[in-house]
Every structure is written in structure tokens, then in C-alpha cells.
Structure 1
């Protein structure tokens, strides 16, 4: 008796589900249609505005549509949220996801393409960022000059300090006790330019590594960045003493100026950018430490992009003009030209920031 009863209950259950399932589907479809009909006009208007922006930017948008764009975007985003929560039909959900994504890019996405960004960077953005960290540049310059003086004084008192400051791979024949002829040979030129391109690549890698390290160490309140500057300039001070003691101070300065006015300037900016981050974290003012670090980090990153460009230029100068131009006067002229160019670009050339556009 129990088996027939159970069978009847199962049959009744399936019969009831067959009736309710189409009803549920119809109800869901009705809710989806009503939801779409109530909001579709706003979606279509937003889609039309976004399509015009994608084709021609803001110039093709009327003022009324431009003012309505943020509201229409928020409406579409809210509709997408509701559609996800209530499991509306897949077509509506896919349409809203695509629309919101496109609208987000137009409202909040970047306004400049690669070439437009590069043009703005070279024609004002980089120099503005450098001028904004002028105080850190002054501090870093003072530290670098002090480091060179310290290196000079250390080797003057004890020549053994030269070996402690100068790595073996950089010393080569440049060492205390070397003859004037040996030292002069290290300042000479190479016959031909074979192998100089690979030498340039090596120099760029080495110099860029020093600059990036000086910038990256800024998070520790800038102290490691300053220490790195002191160490590198102490090495230079030791070399200055070595060549000056052999009566080759002018020749060494000319040899160094070819690439040094660019390379040392780049190292100065890298150290200043790292110090800028560290100083803003140590003295955030009314901002939080994270907010201060984020702001200074973005500014420092702009400076560092330019520093990489300077390291490329310095590597080229070190590998080619310095190795192929042997005249002391000619070397001084090359160094002076690049020093004047960088100073003019950073501190004399000024261009206002582009006006902000968009909603």
C-alpha cells in the first residue's frame, strides 16, 4: 500500500513543477523586460555618447551630454549591479558589462595615447617634475660635492684608501704609483669604433642600475640614497686625486666632462627623486604617510623615466665621442654643450601644464 502512495506523491510533485517552472520562467522574463524598458533609454543615450567619444573625443560631445555623462555612467553601473544580484537574462547582463566597461574607460581612463604622452613628457612634464623637487636636488648636490671632497681627503691622507673606494674592475692601470704615461694612456682614444656599441650597452646597464638603486632606496627616508651618492662621489674624488697628483687634472676633467655632465646629472636627479620620497614620508604634513609617499612617488617616477633617457645619452657619449675624440678642448666643448642643454631644459625652459579636460 505504501508504494502506490509514494508513487502518486512523486507524480503529483513532478506535475506541480511542470506547471510552476514555465510560470517562473515567464515571471523572470517579465521582470527582465520591465527592468530593461525602464532604463533602456538611459543606456542607449550613454552608449551613443561613448560611441562619439571613442570616435572623436570630447570635441564631438554636446555640453548637455557631457554634463549628463557621469550620471548616466553611475546609472548604468547601478543597473549592472542589480542585474547581477537578481540574475537577469544573460543578454542584458552582457550588454551592461560591455557598456559600463566602455563608459568607465571614457570617464576615468587615460586621456593620452603613447605618442601624446611622450610629447607632453618631453615638452614640459619632465622639466616640471624636476623643478618641483628643487630642494631635494640642492640637498643631493651638496651631498655629492661633499662625497667627492671626502674621497679626495681620504686618499690624500692615506693612499690605501684608494683601493677601498675604487673597485678592482674600475681601477685597471689607474692606481697610486702609476706613471704619468700609464695614466695618460687610460685617457686616450681608441682606434676605430669596433666594439663600442656593446661597451655602450654595458655602460647604460651599469649607470641605470646605480640610478634605479638610488631612487628605490628612498623609501627608507632617503638616507640610503644619500649614502649611495656619497660612496659614488668618494670614488670620483679618489680618481681626481690620482690624476691631479700626476699633473693630469685638466685632462681627466676633460675626459670626464664628455659623459659626466650627463651621467652625474642623471645620478643627481635619481638621488634627489629617492630623497624626495623619503623626505615626504618623514614630513608628510597634514597628509598620511601613504598619501604623501604616493604623491612623491608619482613625481619621482616621472623624473626617473627621464633619468633613464639621460643614461642612454651618457652611455652613447661615453662609448663613442669620449673614445673617439682625443682633444682636450674638444672634450670640454662636448661636455659644456650637454651641461648647458640640461640646465636650460630643466630650469629655463618652461611650459604650462595642459588644462584638465573631461568630466
Structure 2
């Protein structure tokens, strides 16, 4: 007999007759939800919907096992899929989802990778110290550590007056906007790569974060000996408390995935990576927002504000905001089952 043939005691017409009323009723309820509103369902409909879904799944299983008509199987698969998304899919309005993300989701995801954050932050600042010491001990290292387009004349041969001008002169005189744009683009690329390459056991992430820290330290080795360390810090940190925090979070999210791949525990490696990836993705959505905020601070505040006190005040305010937000936002929801 052909694959569509039925067992003697199991006819297609009988199978359909016994169950078709349930399928039609389920389809009617799904149409009501999809074309109008879930609010149109009565209490009886809400009780009936899961039962009809389970009955349809059971019919689909039987149809597959007994090789019933292919068009019927396709119909039942489509009906089951629609019911699944109605019952288990997220139908929360977009603005509710956005509000939930900022109210608790983002901060909770960040707190979930706090161990990786501490490790990445330690690596970054240790690398910065290493870069500073290395360039001070041998100035020829500067050109090896810092790309020429990033340095833009800010190297070991630059005079104190020239370096001071790059910190305080208007952009058209100091060329500050070119360096600022390059720095922002570079840091955005580092953030994305540090996260995206985390699946390789976090090794590329470590390298990228260390490289960025070394370059920062190399710049300090140029400015500090000329008495401009304080000014450089204010110039960088007016946006850097946001931008560097974003880089550290991106690196931590990448490392979180790498750690899950390397040490999945009792779960399969695929399941562990999936859980870590979902948390990391939440963190990275926030990182993009932080980079946009840093870009605004870099493009406007740092260009227009040349007073060190004001720069440090803005930097401290932004740092305090991020620390308080990630520490407190949604904290009461963390212990939910």
C-alpha cells in the first residue's frame, strides 16, 4: 500500500470526524485572538484553549505516526504552531517590553555577569598600567602600540604646548573632533568584537581588552611627564566613564559566553552557551545605548567644556549614575522564582 494508505481499522474519514470539531473550535479561538484581541476571549474560552491545543498536538502525533494524509499533517502543524505562539509567545506591547528592559532587565543581566565584569575591569586597568610603564621605559614602544591615525601627532616627540592645545583649544585649532571621532569608532568596534568573539573561550576578548588598555596607558605616558595627566584624565573621562564602562561590559558579556562554552557544568555545551548568549545579548543592547550616550558627550560636552572642574564633575556624575543604576534597578525582582 502507498504511504497515504490507512490501516484497516483506522480510516482517514473516521479520524477526521472524531476530531475535526476540536480543530475548528481551536481555529476559531485563534482567529479571534489574532484578528481582534485576547480580551475578546471569555473565561470558558481561556480554559478551553489549552485543552484544544493539547488535543491538536495529540492528533498531529497520531497523524505523523500512521502516515495520514500529508495535507492534514501540514494543517495540524500550522494550527499547533499558531496555538503555541498564542499560549506561550510574548504578546506584551512593545512599550511594556522597553520599559521592562530599562526598569530591570538590563541591570539584572549586568549583575548576572558581575564576576566577569570584575575580571575584565582588572585586566583593562592592569594593561593600562603595563602600557604606561612600557612606553616610559622605552618611548619607541609608543608607535608600536598606538596606530598613527589615533595618535595624530600626540606622541613622545610632541611639545607640552601642542599637547595642551589638543586638550583645551577649540576643535578647529586642535583637530580634536577628528581624534574624538576616531576614538569613539575604535571603542565601538572593540566593544562589538569583544562580545562577538567571546564564544572562542573568551581568548580574543581578553586580547582586545588588554590591547585597548595598553593603548590608553601609552597615551598617559605621553601626557603625564609633561604635567598634563590631570587634564588628559578630565578630557577623556567626560565621556570615558560611560564609554570605558561600555567596553568593560561588552568584554564581560563576551567572556560570560566563553566561560559557558568552556565550562558548561551539568548542562550541554550548547544549552550553556544559549543561556549565556541570552544574558549577554541583553547586556549588549544596553552597551549600544551607552555608546550612543558616550558619543553625545564626546561630540558636544567635551568639545564645549574646557574647564577641568566641570569635566570631572560630569565624569563623576555619569559614573555615579551607572553604578547606582546597575546596582539598584530591578533589585527587588532578582529573587523571584
TM-score of Structure 1 vs Structure 2, range by shorter chain: 0.7 to 0.9
Structure 1 pair 197–247 and aligned structure 2 pair: CA distance change class (3 A): closer
> How many pairs were matched up?
321
**2:92 aligned with 1:87:** no
**Alignment deviations for residues 103-160 of structure 1 (CA, whole Å, 9 cap, x no partner):** 1221232333433222211111000000000100011111011011100110111011
Structure 1 pair 273–355 and aligned structure 2 pair: CA distance change class (3 A): closer
**2:287 aligned with 1:304:** no
Residue in 1 aligned with 2:20?
40
Which one of 112, 115, 139 corresponds to residue 135 of structure 1?
115
Structure 1 pair 63–36 and aligned structure 2 pair: CA distance change class (3 A): same
SS in structure 1 of the partner of residue 90 of structure 2 = coil
Residue in 2 aligned with 1:11?
none
Structure 1 pair 339–280 and aligned structure 2 pair: CA distance change class (3 A): same
CA distance in 2, matches of 1:355, 1:136: 21
SS in structure 2 of the partner of residue 178 of structure 1 = coil
Residue in 1 aligned with 2:253?
273
Structure 1 pair 250–200 and aligned structure 2 pair: CA distance change class (3 A): closer
Structure 1 pair 298–157 and aligned structure 2 pair: CA distance change class (3 A): same
Tell me how large the CA RMSD over aligned residues is: 3.0
8 A Cα contact 1:173 1:186, kept in partner: no
CA distance in 1, matches of 2:92, 2:50: 20
**Alignment deviations for residues 50-76 of structure 1 (CA, whole Å, 9 cap, x no partner):** 34544444x665666545433421322
Larger radius of gyration: 1
Residue in 1 aligned with 2:147?
167
SS in structure 2 of the partner of residue 228 of structure 1 = helix
1:181-200 matched pairs, under 5 angstroms: 181-190=161-170
SS in structure 1 of the partner of residue 155 of structure 2 = coil
Residue in 2 aligned with 1:264?
244
CA distance in 1, matches of 2:141, 2:177: 33
Structure 1 pair 78–196 and aligned structure 2 pair: CA distance change class (3 A): farther
Displacement after TM superposition at 1:289 (Å): 1.6
8 A Cα contact 2:152 2:179, kept in partner: no
CA distance in 1, matches of 2:75, 2:155: 73
CA distance in 2, matches of 1:164, 1:34: 79
**Alignment deviations for residues 191-224 of structure 1 (CA, whole Å, 9 cap, x no partner):** 69xx999998766543322111001221121122
**2:132 aligned with 1:145:** no
**2:324 aligned with 1:349:** no
Q: Tell me the TM-score normalised to structure 1 length.
A: 0.79
CA distance in 2, matches of 1:199, 1:316: 15
Residue in 2 aligned with 1:288?
268
CA distance in 1, matches of 2:323, 2:99: 20
Residue in 2 aligned with 1:120?
100
Displacement after TM superposition at 1:318 (Å): 0.9
CA distance in 1, matches of 2:28, 2:94: 26
Give the gaps of 5 or more residues in structure 2.
Answer: 1-10
Residue in 1 aligned with 2:317?
337
Residue in 2 aligned with 1:245?
225
Structure 1 pair 140–61 and aligned structure 2 pair: CA distance change class (3 A): same
**Alignment deviations for residues 245-296 of structure 1 (CA, whole Å, 9 cap, x no partner):** 1101111111011110010000000110111111122222111222111111
